[in-house]
Amino acid sequence: MRIGVLGAGSWGTTLASLVAPRHDTVLWARDPEVAKSVTVDHVNPKYLPGFDLPVELSATPLIGEAAGDADLLVIGVPTSGFRCVLEEAVEYIRHWIPIVSLSKGLERGSLLRMTEVIREVIPGHPVAALTGPNIAWEIMAGKAAAAVIATDDLEVANAIQAVFTRGVFRVYLNDDVVGCEMGGALKNVIAIATGIGEGLGVGDNTRAAVMSRGLAELTRLGVAMGAQPATFAGLAGMGDLIVTCMSPYGRNRAVGEQLGRGRALEEVLGEMHMVAEGVNTASVALELAERHHLDLPICAMINRVVNGELGPLEAYRGLTPPGRETDPC
């Protein structure tokens, strides 16, 4: 099988590295230097420093070389550029091939999930989302991990599962595409909140409370949008939330931690090679919440923090109000 992976960030490169030894895999990198490093030196020092990549993996700065002739296309670019990359690649994509999204976020303006963007830009293709608690560095180091392939087409799901499962990297099936994508998107906002708590030194008890309330919050919105409640107790919900909130490699948690220590958002983001999706997702989540007549206090607070309307300490006081008589979960 020929596989095209669009996006040479840490996760796109990792997934391409997993499948390259068994399938003809081409990775698209917008930066020609990154493409050269992957193909010639078998490394990606910008996004995966310290790891050797399979010699079978090749990369190109030409999107047509990765997308053309692909039997399976994987999109691993930030949500802010997701639609543009699809529009750039559409003329090269063969009819009917499955397209898989790796991106965890929501499109600003349209409020669409990434599989919805794919269906809008490139209709007529089987579409899926790969999500779950997947830290790229740990997977590259050979540590066990599990992911979920979410699609409503069982035949396509089984085929993609067979392609991606390798060794201690296991892929499970889920037909709740809405729940899996919403869990992956909204956990980034909760991770910023958790990181702020770490930066402020509030303690593990308080951060656990915010994570629990955050899980309830993203579940409410997901269910209102048609998701299955059980999805948020699984890999795509609680699993992804835990690792994003607690891992030292979590970008959104790291952004929150720096905000909690008093640094300016622009300064923090300016130092990052990769995108912290939660910064933009908070406002989109609030628009969706308004559409469904829901209250999302954590998303609201984080949105005010990233917009500069509220300081981290003041926000955290708002995130931990006096308890109610019933658990919000």
Q: 328 pLDDT exceeds 80?
A: no
Question: Could you tell me how far CA 294 lies from the centroid of its own chain?
Answer: 23
pLDDT at 275: 85
Q: 71 pLDDT exceeds 70?
A: yes
**Which pLDDT band, with edges at 50, 70 and 90, does 274 fall under?**
confident
What SS3 state is found at 129? Answer: strand
Per-residue pLDDT of 19-53, as tens digits, reads: 999 999 999 999 999 999 999 999 999 999 999 99
Q: Which residue has the tokens 């692909």?
A: 70
Instruction: Indicate the helix (H) or strand (E) that contains 298.
Output: helix 297-306
For residue 166, the 8-state DSSP code is B
Structure tokens at 5: 């992976």
Q: 6 pLDDT exceeds 50?
A: yes
Per-residue pLDDT of 76-112, as tens digits, reads: 999 999 999 999 999 999 999 999 999 999 999 999 9
Section 54-74 average pLDDT: 97
Q: Is 36 a catalytic residue?
A: no
Per-residue pLDDT of 173-226, as tens digits, reads: 999 999 999 999 999 999 999 999 999 999 899 899 999 999 999 999 999 999
pLDDT at 325: 46
Write down the catalytic residue from 46, 104, 143, 187: 187
Q: 329 pLDDT exceeds 70?
A: no
Residue 5 has φ and ψ, to the nearest 5°, of -120, 115
Q: How far is CA 234 from CA 174, 229, 238, 325, in A?
A: 10, 10, 6, 27
**Which pLDDT band, with edges at 50, 70 and 90, does 273 fall under?**
confident
Per-residue pLDDT of 280-312, as tens digits, reads: 999 999 999 999 999 999 999 999 999 999 999
pLDDT at 298: 94
Domains assigned to the chain: 2-175 (3.40.50.720), 178-319 (1.10.1040.10)
Q: How far is CA 81 from CA 74, 107, 193, 270, in A?
A: 14, 9, 25, 18
pLDDT at 7: 97
